[in-house]
Amino acid sequence: MWAFLLLLAASGVVLVDGESLGRHRADPDQVSVSGMSSGACFAVQFHVAHSRSIMGAGIFAGAPYLSYGNPLIDVSVLETSTNAAALTFNIDGTTNMRGDRVYLFTGANDVVVPSATMRQTWEYYKAYVENNNIQFVANLHATHGMPTADYGGQCDQTSRPNYLNNCDYNGAYHALNHIYGSSQDLVKPDPYSDVATRGQVKIHLVFSSAFFRTFDQGEFFYFTSPSAYSMDDEGFVYIPSGCAGRYSDCKLHIHLHGCNQGKSFVGDYYARHAGFNEVGELNNIIILYPQVTSAVVPVNPMGCWDWWGYTGGYFATRNGFQITAVHRMMERLLD
């Protein structure tokens, strides 16, 4: 029996699922968020709503705050709506964003979220963030998807169902390096690196030095189940080997998948192969992957994050149901 357990431990397979999200006392001044597609739209919302707690954002094919994806909307209207939300204390004060680091990516061949929409996002952020803190990447002939250095389909062709594009460009690294590497570049993973799979698994009383696992999202909804707001029962988290202790003082990054990319659609494929775990392992960054699922009520058949209001009118504020749940997850890892 022990020989079998040790073999599994050496394989890097995670066996302990659905347990409570651990407490790792990550650095509260080093929390960032990113997202792909609907996750990118939600990452903008989370950043704006909780800007006092977030110091950087990475937006891959997203839309500006409260735009509902309307490419014709005047950005000044969005600024007025944002300022009103701050004045009514529905979001943190916008001055908190001034010194934040923002990375924006749009594929030149993206027809799902066209470059024009991401240019709106760029214009929106320029109203609140110091312009030299914003990096806008728009020169890759990539289609809609997460750009990677070594995984996924052809860069200029849509890679369903996972939306991972092998573009010889490590989007996860470039986003995190822009956010955290202002004084010194982060350590960059080599292409095809297995650095995020070298840790052993947690089996009973055997603890790993690094691991990727599921956790129970239900404990972050106090009076109902996650499915009431189109969230999955489980999420994913990657704990680097340097962050496994109770007092890790590591950085924390929250990454949000896009439509059809959640656990109920592709399992852990996207979370394992988007590139963030390798960067996290080499640079002591915990990676949190909250998960959304499809729902009939509320109407969300593609498992998208709520960036148009399907969970209610406060969806983009600190009181939004999904935003509140993700913020509670964040606080647990900071505790």
The count of other CB atoms within 10 Å of the CB of residue 136 is 18
- Whether 8 maps to a domain, the answer reads no
- Whether 9 maps to a domain, the answer reads no
- Whether 1 maps to a domain, the answer reads no
First to last CA, the chain: 36
- Beta carbons within 8 Å of 88's beta carbon, 6+ residues apart: none
Return the residue matching tokens 């799902």. Answer: 112
- Whether 186 maps to a domain, the answer reads yes
Write the CA distances from 51 to 57, 128, 148, integer angstroms. Answer: 10, 11, 28
pLDDT < 50 positions in the chain: 1-16, 199-208
- The answer to whether the Cα torsion of 310, 171, 242, 185 is positive or negative is negative
Query: Per 3-state DSSP, what percentage of the chain is helix, strand, and coil (rounded to 5)?
Result: 30, 15, 50
Say if residues 286 and 322 touch (Cβ distance below 8 Å). no
- Whether 329 maps to a domain, the answer reads yes
**CA 64, CA 45: separation in Å to the nearest integer?**
8
The count of other CB atoms within 10 Å of the CB of residue 153 is 18
- Whether 5 maps to a domain, the answer reads no
Count of helices and strands (H, E) across the chain: 9, 11
Question: Rounded to an integer, what is the distance from CA 72 to the centroid of its chain?
Answer: 27
pLDDT at 194: 87
Using CA atoms of 219, 225, 230, 231 in order, give the dihedral in degrees to the nearest 10. 20
Number of independent structural domains in the chain = 1
- Whether 163 maps to a domain, the answer reads yes
Phi/psi of residue 283, each to 5°? -130, 15
* Host domain of residue 40: 16-334
**CA 244, CA 209: separation in Å to the nearest integer?**
7
Write the CA distances from 78 to 28, 51, 123, 312, integer angstroms. Answer: 29, 17, 10, 19
pLDDT at 296: 96
User: Would you state the structure tokens that stand for residue 162, as one six-digit string?
Assistant: 């996972």
- Whether 10 maps to a domain, the answer reads no
Write the CA distances from 290 to 96, 112, 284, integer angstroms. Answer: 24, 23, 19
